[in-house]
Amino acid sequence: MTQVTLSIFRGDANGGGFVDYTVEMGEGQVVLDVIHTVQATQAGDLAVRWNCKAGKCGSCSAEVNGKPCLMCMTRMNTLDTSQPVTVAPIKTFPLIKDLVTDVSFNYEVAKRIPAFTPRAPDAPDGTYRMQQIDIERGQEFRKCIECFLCQDVCHVIRDHPENKPDFMGPRWFVRLAELEMHPLDTADRTEFIRKAGGIAYCNITKCCTEVCPENIHITDNAIIPLKERVADKYYDPFRWIFGKLTG
Amino acid sequence: MAEYETHEYDVLVVGAGGAGLRAAIEASAKGARTALVCKSLLGKAHTVMAEGGIAAALGNVYAEDNWQVHFRDTMRGGKMLNNWRMAQLHAQEAPERVHELEAWGALFDRTKDGRILQRAFGGHKYDRLAHVGDRTGLEMIRTLQQHAVHQGIDVYMECTIARLLKDGDRISGAVGYWRQSGDMVLFRAKAVVLGTGGTGKAFKINSNSWEYTGDGHSLAYWAGADLIDMEFIQFHPTGMVWPPSVRGILVTEGVRGDGGTLTNSEGKRFMFDYITDYFRAETAETIEEADKWYDDKLNHRRTPDLLPRDEVARAINSEVKAGRGSPHGGVFLDIASRRPADYIKRALPSMYHQFKQLADVDITATPMEVGPTMHYTMGGVRVDPDTAAATVPGLFAAGECAGGMHGANRLGGNSLSDLLVFGRRAGMGAADYALGLGSQPEASTGDADTMADEMTACLDREGGENPYAIQSDLQDMMHTLVGIIRTGVELDRALGEIEKLKERAQRTSVPGGRAYNPGWHLAMDLRSLLTVSEGIARAAKERTESRGAHTRDDYQKTDPEWGKWNLSLSQGTDGSMKLDKTPLPEMPAELASLLEEAKV
């Protein structure tokens, strides 16, 4: 057992600050383990979200030493523990308490996205046929655990909360790309992506891709293809003229 | 009498994992005003951690598979203690439920001809599990969540239900608290569906999330419903064992389904030494036969590495006790020497990731160390198989918090299918009941007032017991005295310890206020944790035989007489726990004959 000090943000919407907690740390522990030790021994009311503790549910997102990550997958031995390790809540969403933020924005956006609209079944028994190669891109997007770290680092909404009504953020472009590239889906969401999604705000700095714990190529595989679809439909000069001529 | 924030619905679904979501979708589709309440954020329920797949006799890989074979495997896996009607409905309806998920957007791995691919799993005769790599639970919960969102179901997140309310004998709603504010909330509802999952947080080494505190089991029990089969707790054979911080985290059975084998410190595939008579006829006796089985299941018998979970967990326990364990007290699970690295990364990506990141182990190069971890609660609310109705009018239960479906031991993959089949049936049952009920039953706020007082007392008290310490002591005790191998003497001790812990749980105090206070929430959860712990220990003490996941060192034989009985728990009028033996429903002859034929 070694001792380690975490400097954890304590507070709520009215304000707060970092409080140091020194606790014993066991072998192989992750940041969330140490947070739990602090909770169990020194601060029973320390607010933190977590569920699976195995990188599968995306609940325990935080900023550890300034870096957005899942606390359950961040090993203490990857951090410099000679100084206090800072643990702060994710910044893009309003603070509720300590490490817990109000991520309801995401659930509201999810409701607005036009639903999956499948084609008629392929076989008389009501089942579908799809080739593995055709679903692999969709499967990449569906690995998303909704940790919202991509939303946290996206400067369009992190630094400018006023953009939130007009820009959905990377998580929702991944969702939209998944629907648009789904082999069974028949809906066209291009207008939605352009207008409601606000995809033009994204200037492909790839911050989202860098923090994705599921290693989804958010920028290259989701956002850029969606931008291309929008550009094709609305900003292709030939298509524009053709549209004018043919009504 | 205080005023509470109040909502009114036809159907209130408690829990938003697979069962709760599927129930809410169905109830809403039937026209019932439906609310879904969950302790965490939507999409974070424990279903998300399911890895291997959904068992359904689609017959895509082996056309020989059908519901009868699935039914037979399920009953044999449950050591014949399952409710036959649940096992039948489950096997018959699972394929339709899987296809439905696909029609709602799920992207399962494919066969070469474009159908849903199925993988081999323990106790299943044929490749049967529809899956997405090793993250099937995530696919399932996301599909259901996305479908539900567009159905107009009201979702109340981070809200804990603490008590069910009754109007006379029937359910009239529930009372709970918002985790964010600590304020109480009252739901008036004609019917309540419980889909709250299991009890894993009563045990020290477990694969479960913090939410698994036996809430639904306890809510039903306190409201007068029966619980059955509580003695049957599944220890999954393969949890991580090293480093200590990850002990218990699940390693999917898919590792073995896809070719991985269990070995001891002598390098021996020890499972060949643990084939019981019950499974001898269907299990490979040599390594050669076992290895051929992976590619040709029609002409070879299944590897003993994929015996049902109760058998494998006991075998690992015995190997470790005999001194043939791995350095950190488990055994080895080796897929590295048996399958190419790119295959492993493709079929088991999250296992690869999990070991690499949490244990510095590359599973494509070295064996994993694994050991048993508390994983699943077979016992639960006694329900009517067709409607999922509990013994209290207006109360329904589905998924892990319902009992009967899995008997003495659940087969891997049968949980996700259970959630879908009986989630839907519970939603239907609840909607039919609620819509058939004329007026909204009265929801008295008396119980809510009592709740509010209890909750406030815990915050006001100073110098009381730390709830975290109580939970930790409970987990240690349950693990030592009510674990994988049990004795009557230890179970008696456990019941004594539970009484002491109950007293301590009356005197908890927590720092801080009402807003998002996890210590306070845990103090409330202790009541349900202790209720289910007592139920597990009492039933385990009573069943003087070994069957499925329940192993008594002092009664090692399976007793045919005990095979005729379920143990049933209910709350007596004096508040104490009552235990009854209730006869197993009799199986119709045509189903019984399926099991006869299977004996060979």
Q: What pLDDT sits at residue B360? A: 93
- Looking at residue A69, its pLDDT comes to 98
**Residues from chain B contacting residue A106 (CB–CB below 8 Å):** none
Q: What is the largest CA-CA distance in chain B?
A: 73
Q: Which of B36, B38, B39, B41 to mutate to test the interface with A (most CBs of A within 10 A)?
A: B41
Instruction: Pick the residue from chain A with its C-alpha nearest to B523.
Output: A44
Helix pair angle (B488-505, B467-481), 10° resolution: 170
SS3 B212: coil
> Tens digit of pLDDT for each residue in B211-229?
999 999 999 999 999 999 9
**Whole-angstrom Cα distance, residue B294 to residue B309?**
19
Give the CA distances from residue B384 to residues B226, B400, B562, B589, in Å, rounded to whole numbers and listed in that order: 12, 15, 22, 20
Chain B nearest C-alpha distance from A239 (Å): 32
Lowest mean pLDDT across B134-138, B357-361, B465-469, B596-600: B596-600
Model confidence pLDDT, tens digit, residues A104-117: 999 999 999 999 99
Q: Residue A142 and residue B157: Cβ atoms within 8 Å? A: no
Contacts of A110 in chain B (CB under 8 A): 146, 149
CB contacts, 8 Å: B210 with chain A: 50-51
Q: Does the ipTM exceed 0.85? A: yes
Contact B516 A26 (CB under 8 A): no
| Residue B599 scores a pLDDT above 60 | no
CB contacts of B100 in chain A (<8 Å) are none
Question: Using an 8 Å Cβ cutoff, are B61 and B35 in contact?
Answer: no
* Pairwise CA distance, residues B121 & B53, whole Å: 9
Q: A139–B103: do the CB atoms touch at under 8 Å?
A: no
Q: How many CB pairs under 8 A join A and B?
A: 170
Residue A212 C-alpha, separation from nearest chain B C-alpha, in angstroms: 13
Measured in angstroms, the CA of A45 and the nearest CA of chain B are apart by: 4
Residues of chain B contacting residue A59, judged by C-beta atoms under 8 Å apart: 40-41, 44
Distance from CA of A1 to the nearest CA of B (A): 12
Inter-chain touch B358–A73, beta carbons under 8 Å: yes
- B113, B244, B472: residue with CB nearest A27: B244
Checking if the pLDDT of A101 tops 90, the result is yes
Q: Which of B115, B138, B511 sits opposite A45 (nearest CB)?
A: B511
- What phi and psi, each to the nearest 5 degrees, are found at residue B590? -70, -30
Give the minimum alpha-carbon distance from A44 to chain B in angstroms, rounded to a whole number: 5
For residue A51, list chain B residues with Cβ-Cβ distance below 8 A.
40, 44-46, 48, 209-211
Verify whether the Cβ–Cβ distance A54 to B49 is below 8 Å.
Answer: yes
Enter the tokens of residue B203: 């045990």
Task: Tell if the CB–CB gap between A118 and B109 is shorter than 8 Å.
Answer: no
* Beta-carbon separation of B138 and A142 below 8 A: yes
pLDDT of B403 strictly over 90: yes
Q: Active-site positions of B?
A: 236, 256
Q: A interface mutation test: which of B44, B160, B466 has the most A CBs within 10 A? A: B44
Set of chain B residues whose Cβ sits within 8 Å of the Cβ of A145: 48, 138
Residue B598, pLDDT score: 52
Question: Averaged over B556-574, what is the pLDDT?
Answer: 97
Query: Are B61 and B111 spatial neighbours (Cβ–Cβ below 8 Å)?
Result: yes
Whether A56 sits inside 8 A of B138 (CB atoms) is yes
Which region, left, alpha or beta, applies to residue B62 given φ > 0 means left and ψ of -120 to 50 means alpha?
beta
Share of chain A above pLDDT 90, in %: 93
Of A44, A59, A103, the CB nearest to B510: A44
Specify the pairing of strand B129-130 against strand B54-55: antiparallel
At B566 the three-state DSSP class reads strand
Alpha carbons B357 and A77: distance in angstroms, whole number: 11
Whether B2 shows a pLDDT value over 80: the answer reads no
Q: What is the pLDDT of residues B573-587, one digit of tens each?
A: 999 999 999 999 999
- Per-residue pLDDT tens for B437-489? 989 999 887 888 888 888 889 999 999 999 999 999 999 999 999 999 999 99
CB pair distance less than 8 Å for B44 and A53: no
Model confidence at B110, pLDDT cuts 50, 70, 90, reads very high
CA distance B581 to chain A (A): 36
pLDDT at residue B37 greater than cutoff 90: yes
Interface test with B, best of A4, A29, A50, A56 (most B CBs within 10 A): A56
How far apart CA A94 and CA A88 sit, in angstroms, is 13
Q: Enter the tokens of residue A244.
A: 């004018």
User: For B500, how many CA atoms within 13 A lie in the half-sphere containing its CB?
Assistant: 10
CA distance readout (Å), A140 to A171, A210, B37, B107, B381: 13, 15, 30, 10, 38
- Cβ contacts of A146 on chain B, cutoff 8 Å: 43
A28/B246 CB distance under 8 A: yes
Residue located via tokens 């947080």:
B201
Mean of pLDDT over chain B: 96
**Range from A122-136, A150-164, B435-449 carrying the lowest mean pLDDT:** B435-449
pLDDT at B238: 97
The pLDDT value given to residue B106: 98
Span A209-220, mean pLDDT? 98
Nearest-neighbour CA in chain A from B81: distance (Å): 31
CB B358 to CB A116 under 8 A? no
Cα separation, A10 vs B517, in Å, equals 12
CB-CB: which of B99, B109, B354 is closest to A55?
B354
- Cβ proximity of A45 and B519 under 8 Å: yes
The residue of chain A nearest to residue B516, with distances taken between CA atoms, is A47
Q: Residue A174, exposed/middle/buried by CB under 10 A (0-12, 13-18, 19+)?
A: buried
The beta-carbon neighbor of A52 closest among B180, B209, B469 is B209
Query: With pLDDT > 70 as the criterion, what percentage of chain B qualifies?
Result: 99
B491-532 pLDDT, tens digit each:
999 999 999 999 999 999 999 999 999 999 999 999 999 999
Task: Please tell me the predicted confidence (pLDDT) of residue B600.
Answer: 38
Q: A44 vs B102: CB contact, 8 Å cut-off?
A: no
Chain B residues inside the 8 Å CB shell of A115:
146-147, 150
Torsional class of B394: left (φ above 0), alpha (ψ -120 to 50), beta (otherwise):
left
Distance from CA of B253 to the nearest CA of A (A): 16
Q: How far is A12 from chain B (nearest CA, A)?
A: 10
Residues of B whose CB is below 8 A from A129? 113-115
Instruction: Identify which of B48, B114, B518 has the shortest CB distance to residue A45.
Output: B518
Cis peptide before A161 (omega within 30 of 0): no
Of A56, A138, A182, the CB nearest to B49: A56
**Closest residue in B to A96 (Cα–Cα):** B180
User: Residue B514 CA to chain centroid, in angstroms?
Assistant: 31
Q: What is the mean pLDDT of residues B352-364?
A: 95
Given a cut of 90, is residue B3 above it in pLDDT?
Answer: no
Nearest chain B residue (CA) to A185 = B105
CA dihedral in degrees (B132, B138, B139, B142; nearest 10)? -170
Q: Measured between beta carbons, which residues in chain A are less than 8 angstroms from residue B468?
A: 39-41, 44
